[in-house]
């Protein structure tokens, strides 16, 4: 049996194997995201389990979750039945309201969220609901896909595509010259006094795993090219409030490059200075990573439709800056 677009109800409780032909407009979509669209309500952890165990096949062969699909590919989807309890469960109303209030831009193609710190971009690894699952609950029946991801502890702009054409164009911009098609601006507080002017870090980053599966990134010649530009905006309490523009979008890039400079991000419990973090927590109440994705600039329609989307600095970070003398 070949299915192109099952109804949400049919996708939620399938008792037989389905072979789904990937529509042309889904070309380039990751396998895991495609499956999430077919198995409405299934947690991402279940999707990964199905893929890892080989129950999901692409054109008859095993595939990885990050595989980019092509139009005409045939995807084997195994039988999945979600419990009624799981079907009814959704993000808590208070959390949904919090994210609804955090939407800073929306048109017919895109939605931009000023993601709070502590909120994951998507569910998984013990997280029931991330930003994308909650936005889908806020917009039932609508197609919403993450354009990119933001670290859980980083606040700021998270862009979601409402149309497949917008997703494809933005993903192409992200691939263009290592992501130079989308100009990204961050705000951060770095420990210590940074020199005046712009400091550019051109240092390759390699993602490794520590015991327990925790990701840890370090500067390493075998890593991927990574470029960040740090500029001091203001000196506060012996520290440096900075603007950061990145040319690439590697995992933990700003945090590791800041550490490489000898001026780690304030409040960074993975790459930062534990003693300084403790003092900042006790003296001025900094209880989170001081890193915020402040603006994104890009153009759709082959450069004809420009976008400049901004997200104001989180209130708790504004208060921290005000307390620094």
Q: What is the pLDDT of residues 249-263, one digit of tens each?
A: 898 999 999 999 999
Residues 206 and 305 in one domain: yes
Check residue 158 and give its pLDDT: 97
Binning pLDDT at 50, 70 and 90, where does residue 17 land? confident
Does residue 35 sit in helix, strand or coil? helix
Binning pLDDT at 50, 70 and 90, where does residue 212 land? low
Number of helices and strands in the chain (H, E)? 10, 18
Residues 190 and 151 in one domain: no
Check residue 179 and give its pLDDT: 56
Residues 25 and 147 in one domain: no
Average pLDDT over residues 210-236: 89
> What φ, ψ does residue 320 adopt, rounded to 5°?
-60, -45
SS3 readout for 231-289: EEEEEECCEEEEEEEECCCCCCHHHHHHHHHCCCECCCCCCCCHHHHHHHHHHHCCCCC
User: Containing domain of residue 98, as a range?
Assistant: 91-166
Please check whether residue 100 lies inside any domain of the structure.
yes
Residues 152 and 265 in one domain: no
- Helix ranges (DSSP H) in the chain: 8-12, 31-38, 44-52, 84-88, 93-101, 131-138, 164-175, 253-261, 274-284, 315-323
Residues 69 and 21 in one domain: yes
Specify the DSSP element, H or E, that contains 140.
Answer: none
Per-residue pLDDT at 123 exceeds 80: no
Residues 68 and 96 in one domain: no
Residues 157 and 238 in one domain: no
Average pLDDT over residues 47-73: 91
Please check whether residue 144 lies inside any domain of the structure.
yes
Check residue 180 and give its pLDDT: 63
Contact 239, 324 (CB under 8 A): yes
Specify whether 151 is catalytic. Answer: yes
Please check whether residue 66 lies inside any domain of the structure.
yes
Residues 108 and 69 in one domain: no
- Domain termination site, one of 110, 139, 166: 166
Please check whether residue 252 lies inside any domain of the structure.
yes
Check residue 13 and give its pLDDT: 44
Per-residue pLDDT at 86 exceeds 50: no
Per-residue pLDDT at 12 exceeds 50: no
Helices 31-38 and 44-52: crossing angle in degrees, nearest 10, is: 120
- Domain termination site, one of 135, 166, 197: 166
Residues 213 and 160 in one domain: no
Binning pLDDT at 50, 70 and 90, where does residue 3 land? very low
Per-residue pLDDT at 190 exceeds 90: yes
Per-residue pLDDT at 204 exceeds 70: yes
Query: Would strands 13-14 and 305-310 be described as parallel, antiparallel, or unpaired?
Result: unpaired
For residue 112, give the CATH number of its domain: 3.30.2350.10
Which one of 32, 73, 151, 153 is the catalytic residue? 151
Per-residue pLDDT at 39 exceeds 90: no
Check residue 9 and give its pLDDT: 45
Check residue 8 and give its pLDDT: 45
Please check whether residue 207 lies inside any domain of the structure.
yes
Please check whether residue 171 lies inside any domain of the structure.
no
Please check whether residue 287 lies inside any domain of the structure.
yes
- Of 84-93, 95-104, 303-312, the poorest mean pLDDT is in 84-93
Average pLDDT over residues 39-47: 79
By percentage, how much of the chain surpasses pLDDT 70?
89
pTM > 0.95: yes or no: no
- Domain termination site, one of 82, 108, 133: 82
Domain count for the chain, please give it.
3
Check residue 1 and give its pLDDT: 41
Dist CA 13 CA 139 (whole Å): 21
pLDDT, averaged across the chain: 88
Question: Order of strands, edge to edge, in the sheet holding 74-77?
Answer: 2-3, 18-21, 74-77, 57-58
Per-residue pLDDT at 156 exceeds 90: yes
- Chain centroid to CA 78: how far? 28
Residues 98 and 115 in one domain: yes
Per-residue pLDDT at 166 exceeds 90: yes
- Of 6-10, 93-97, 234-238, 284-288, the poorest mean pLDDT is in 6-10
Per-residue pLDDT at 316 exceeds 90: yes
Strand partners, 103: 113
Please check whether residue 264 lies inside any domain of the structure.
yes
- Of 13-17, 59-63, 184-188, 254-258, the poorest mean pLDDT is in 13-17
Q: What number of other Cβ atoms are within 10 A of residue 252's Cβ? A: 24
For residue 22, give the CATH number of its domain: 3.10.290.10
Residues 10 and 119 in one domain: no
Contact 232, 241 (CB under 8 A): yes
> In which residue are the tokens 């919403």 written?
144
Closest CA relative to residue 78, chosen from 12, 18, 35:
18
Per-residue pLDDT at 136 exceeds 60: yes
Contact 158, 148 (CB under 8 A): yes
Dist CA 53 CA 210 (whole Å): 23
Residues 124 and 204 in one domain: no
- Of 111-125, 175-189, 252-266, 275-289, the poorest mean pLDDT is in 175-189
């Amino acid at each position: 049996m070949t299915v192109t677009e099952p109804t949400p109800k049919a996708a939620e409780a399938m008792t037989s194997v389905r072979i789904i032909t990937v529509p042309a407009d889904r070309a380039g979509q990751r396998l895991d995201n495609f499956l999430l669209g077919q198995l409405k309500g299934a947690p991402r952890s279940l999707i990964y389990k199905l893929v890892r165990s080989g129950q999901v096949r692409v054109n008859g062969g095993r595939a990885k979750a990050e595989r980019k699909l092509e139009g005409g590919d045939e995807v084997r989807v195994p039988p999945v039945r979600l419990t009624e309890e799981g079907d009814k469960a959704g993000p808590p109303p208070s959390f949904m309201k919090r994210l609804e209030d955090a939407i800073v831009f929306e048109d017919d193609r895109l939605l931009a969220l000023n993601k709070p710190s502590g909120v994951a971009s998507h569910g998984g690894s013990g997280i029931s609901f991330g930003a994308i699952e909650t936005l889908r609950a806020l917009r039932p029946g609508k197609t919403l896909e993450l354009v990119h991801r933001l670290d859980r502890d980083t606040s700021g702009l998270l862009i979601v595509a409402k149309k497949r054409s917008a997703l494809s164009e933005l993903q192409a911009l992200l691939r263009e010259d290592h992501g130079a098609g989308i100009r990204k601006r961050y705000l951060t507080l770095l420990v210590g006094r940074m020199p005046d002017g712009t400091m550019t870090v051109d240092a390759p980053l390699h993602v490794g795993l520590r015991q327990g599966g925790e990701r840890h990134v370090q500067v390493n010649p075998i890593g991927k090219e990574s470029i960040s530009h740090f500029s001091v905006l203001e000196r506060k309490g012996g520290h440096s409030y900075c603007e950061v523009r990145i040319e690439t979008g590697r995992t933990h890039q700003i945090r590791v490059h800041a550490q490489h400079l000898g001026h780690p991000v304030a409040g960074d419990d993975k790459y930062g200075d534990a003693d300084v973090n403790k003092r900042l927590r006790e003296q001025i109440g900094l209880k989170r990573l001081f890193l915020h994705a402040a603006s994104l600039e890009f153009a759709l329609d082959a450069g004809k439709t420009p976008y400049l989307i901004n997200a104001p600095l989180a209130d708790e970070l504004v208060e921290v800056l005000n307390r620094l003398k």
